[in-house]
A and B are shown apart, each in its own frame.
Chain A
Amino acid sequence: MDSVTPFIVLSSILFTIGAVGVLTRRNAIVVFMCVELMLNASNLALVAFAKQHGDLDGQIAAFFVMVVAAAEVVVGLAIIMTIFRTRRSASVDDASLLKY
């Protein structure tokens, strides 16, 4: 049987891209998408390890990650909407009121 290492490598590459996106992008919604990308990358690793160990626990973990991601997206996008309503901007740099 073939190895699952390529899947893990792909998962780490996607996770890295997501992390760089979170650090560099300014639009809060795109930052959020990059967080989703990182969650998806970790899911891929979980599913690959489930196959490696012949155990379905990894798939259950990936399932829970999806559920939590759905809840997180709902709340996060509602927060972004609220900030956009008051500040007319979705940029993460504009929400700096706590700084002053």
Chain B
Amino acid sequence: MIAFYVLAPIMVLAALGILFVRKAVHAALLLAVVMISLAVLYAALDAPFLFAVQIIVYTGAILMLFLFVLMLVGVDASDSVVETIRGQRLFAVLGGLVLGVTLVLGVGQISLGTVIGLKKANEPGNIEALANILFSRYVFAFEVTSALLITAAMGAMVLAHRERLTPKPTQAQLAAERVRSYAETGHHLGPLPAPGVFARHNAVGTPALLPDGSVAESSLSRVLSARGTPRPAPRDVEAVQRSIDYAPDGRPTSSGSDTPTEGGQ
């Protein structure tokens, strides 16, 4: 029961967080908190098999699938807060409150009688007892489940499959296309400039500088630009040397040495 009173507030807070966070990735992580806590509650309720299944299937497989899809759909897929139906949010919250209060009061008022407990049912071991029921009384449902799983796998394959409508362009065609776009629009023929001239942090976020000192926008990944995390380019060489604490003679510039070194040049 201690596990319950420790985990219940965490679970409710995490579940409420799913309602309020803007980014879908954060919602997925909060859902992971709820699911792992649920697994611990299953263990407290004498269901060790479901404890393992909850962690392996739910937290391991289903949630990872969510995260994969989030990565495919894109990082900037945050929720809009515009209401398309007026007052929808208000009525949803009101309806939810009515549902919640009714459920909690109803469940709280009835008396469930004495708890019989699973001591006797779990006598041969939880997994053995579950297998006994699963492969006798529920064997038909179990077999139907396999049909369901195969159907789901086939359905996902068909839905996610994309037919190629045009033949794949060959390398020669791509090269000809590139040269034609250079002739028509003056689009640069060569590779894009590489980002990150300074290897002191995640340098793919730092734009390259053109010879005149201006920033080369095409050196940054579009994803980083969409996320809004590119780092500002340093103004000049001296600024770089100051920020990495470097002097040409190899001594740090900002240490308390009595002979001040000249940074730059």
Residues of chain B contacted by A2 (CB below 8 angstroms):
1, 115
Chain A residues whose CB sits within 8 angstroms of the CB of B151 once the complex forms: 71
B202 to chain A, nearest CB (A): 27
Specify which of B15, B61, B80 lies most central, judged by the most chain A CB atoms within 10 Å of its CB.
B15
Task: Establish whether residues B112 and A77, one from each chain, have CB atoms under 8 Å apart when the complex forms.
Answer: no
Q: How far is the CB of B23 from chain A (nearest CB, A)?
A: 9
The residues in A between 36 and 86 inclusive whose CB is less than 8 angstroms from any CB of B are 36-37, 40, 43-44, 47-48, 50-57, 59-60, 62-64, 66-75, 77-82, 84-85
**A4 CB within 8 Å of chain B:** yes
Instruction: Give A1 to B159 CA distance when docked, in angstroms.
Output: 50
Chain A CB within 10 Å, residue with most, of B28, B41, B122? B41
Q: If A18-B15, A19-B96, A47-B50 touch, does A10 touch B8 (CB 8 Å cutoff)?
A: yes
Q: How far is the CA of A23 from the CA of B89 in the complex (A)?
A: 8
Which one of A7, A26, A48, A66 lies within 8 Å of B80 (CB-CB)?
Answer: A26
Q: 1/0 per residue B112-133: CB within 8 Å of A?
A: 1111111111100010011001
Tell yes or no: B152 within 8 A of A by CB: yes
List the A side residues contacting B12 at CB < 8 Å: 10, 13-14, 17
CA distance A91 to B31 in the complex (A): 19
**Chain B, range 86-117, C-beta contacts under 8 Å to A:** 88-89, 92-93, 95-97, 99-100, 103-104, 107-108, 112-117
Closest 7 CB pairs of A and B: A54-B116, A16-B100, A20-B96, A71-B152, A23-B92, A12-B103, A78-B159
Can you list 29 A-B contacts (CB < 8 A)?
Answer: A2-B115, A7-B45, A8-B107, A9-B107, A10-B12, A12-B103, A20-B19, A20-B96, A23-B88, A30-B27, A36-B31, A36-B58, A50-B118, A51-B116, A52-B112, A52-B113, A54-B120, A55-B116, A56-B121, A59-B47, A60-B138, A66-B50, A67-B149, A71-B148, A74-B65, A78-B156, A89-B77, A90-B73, A93-B80
Task: Mark B residues whose CB is within 8 Å of A.
Answer: 1, 4, 8, 11-12, 15-16, 18-19, 24, 27-28, 31, 34-35, 38, 41-42, 45-47, 49-50, 53-54, 57-58, 61-62, 65-66, 69-70, 72-73, 77-80, 84, 88-89, 92-93, 95-97, 99-100, 103-104, 107-108, 112-122, 126, 129-130, 133-134, 138, 141, 145, 148-149, 151-153, 155-156, 159-160, 162
